[in-house]
Structure 1
Amino acid sequence: MPFNFTVSPDFAPDHMSGWFYFNTWLQRNLETEIHLELFDSFDEQREEIRAGKIDLIYANPYDASMLVREHGFKAVVRPAGKRDEAVVVVPASSGAEVVEDLSAGVRLATTADPDVHTIGMIMLEPADLDKSNITQREYDTYILVAKALLRGDADVGFFLKQGFDELSDLIKKQMRVLVSSQISVVHHSLLIGPNMQEYSDSLNGLLVNMHNEPKGAGVLESMGIKRWESMSVEQTEFMIDLIDTLMI
C-alpha cells in the first residue's frame, strides 16, 4: 500500500499543482509509492490524522504539536525563511485604521487554524475585545474569510500572513491590514509519521539539497518555497512549547 501524504489546508490555491509535482518528485527520489490527499478543511484533515491514515504531512504549527506529542510524528524540515505570522484585516471601507478603533460587537471571520486564531485574539486585546463581546464565525479557508469580509458578512478577519499575502492584488486592494504579529519562531514543517520513519534520514538528505538540483528547484518554485532546512528535535520542542503556551 502507498504511504499517504497531505498538506495543511492553508496553502495558497495557486500552489496546489506544486504540491502534486512535489509528491511526484518525492516518489521518484525515495523510490516508494506515496499518495497525495488534499483536504478542504482542517477538521476533515484532523479526522484522517486521528484515524492513523496520514504518514507524511506539511503541517501548521498547532497541528505539528498534536502530531508530535500525540501521534509519534517527527519533524524533518521546514521551509527556509518562512515564518508563520498572523494579521488582523478589515475591509478597505472600514472606518478602523488601528485595532483600537474596533469596538464591542464586531463580527469576526476566522478559521479552524488555532495558532492563527489565538494570535489574532491576542492582537485584539488593545481594543478590549475577547470572545465575550464579539460575534465569531469559522470558515474552512482564508479565501472564504476574505469573501466574508468583501461581502460585508464580517467586520474583521484573521489570516495567516502568508495566506493573506498570496491573495490576488485585486482582493487585497479591497482590504486593509490593521496589525501583524512578529513572533518569528513559529512556522510550518514537514513531519513524518511512525510507519514511514525508516525514510527519515533519506528524506532529510534529499530535501535539504533539493534546491541544488534543477528539477527540484523548479518544483520548489511551484510551491512558493526557496529551499528546505533541517529541523532538530530541540527546535521542534521549542516551537511546540511556544504554541502550547499561546494556547493556554
Structure 2
Amino acid sequence: MWLLVFAGFLWVAGVNCTATDKITQHILSDVVALASELEELKQDVAWLRTMRHIEEENGRSGRQLSPRVNNTGPVYTTYNIWGRRHCPTSSEEIYSGVAGGEYYSHTGGASDFQCLPMDPIYARTAPNEQSTRGLMYPVQYMGSWPNNAAYTASVNHDVPCAVCRARRSTHITVPARNVCPSGWTLEYKGFLLAAYQHSSSYDRSQYICVDELFETVPSTGSSVYAAQLFPAEGKCTSGGGLPCSPYIEGYELTCAVCSI
C-alpha cells in the first residue's frame, strides 16, 4: 500500500524536466508491478493459511481429507453377477450372497432384485412380523427348459449372486447378445430372466442377466415362498412385437455384461 502512496506523491508533485518525467514513468511502472506482485503474494499466504487450517481440523477429527482431487488413481466399475456364487477371475469380489426380491404374486413392494450378503447387520429392529413393511424373499429359478440341462437341474433352487469390481471405468448389460461390442471386455454371458408374464397371479419384475452355468444356493431345492425367475423369450408376430427378421418367435434371449 505504501508503494501506491509513494507513486501518487510523485505523480502529484510532477517534475517538468523531460528526463525527470521519463524517470518518473519508469518508477511508476516498477511501483505498479511491485504492487501487483505484493497482492499475489498476499493471496498465496491467505491460501496457505486456509490449507493449514483444514489440515489441522482434519487431524483433530481423525479424517484425512484432501482439498485437491486426485485424478491419477485407478478407475473401477461395479456390477452384479446373477446365478453364480463368485465373481469371474477378471474381477475383484466385493461380496457374495443370495438374490432377494418381492414374493411373485404380491402387487406391492419392489420389482427389482437385490444381491443380499450372507452377513446382514440389523439396527432398531421391531419384534415379530409387521404388516406395514416391504418384504424380501429368496429368488428361485422356475419354469421348464427342455434343451438346457443346467437350467432344468436348477429349477426350484435359490439363485446365488455376487457383487464384483472390475478395473475399468463403466459397464453395460447387452440384451439379446452373448458377445460384447468391439473394444469391450466380457465379464460374463448368460440369459435374460424375469418374472412369469402370463397370469394375474404374477407381478412384474426387472430383467436380469443370469450366468449361463446357473449355479444354485446350497441346501435349497424345494418350492417355497419366493420371487421367481423364468427364461425370457422374444415375441414377434405380424400383429406387433419385436422385428421378426432378426428376432425369432419363442427363442430364449441371451445377454452379456461388458465393461470398458
TM-score range relative to shorter protein: under 0.3
TM-score, reference length from structure 1: 0.19
Q: Which has the higher helix share?
A: 1
Work out which of the two has the higher radius of gyration on C-alpha atoms and give 1 or 2: 2
Q: Using CA pairs under 8 Å that are at least 6 residues apart, name the structure with larger relative contact order, 1 or 2.
A: 1
Q: Which has the higher strand share?
A: 2
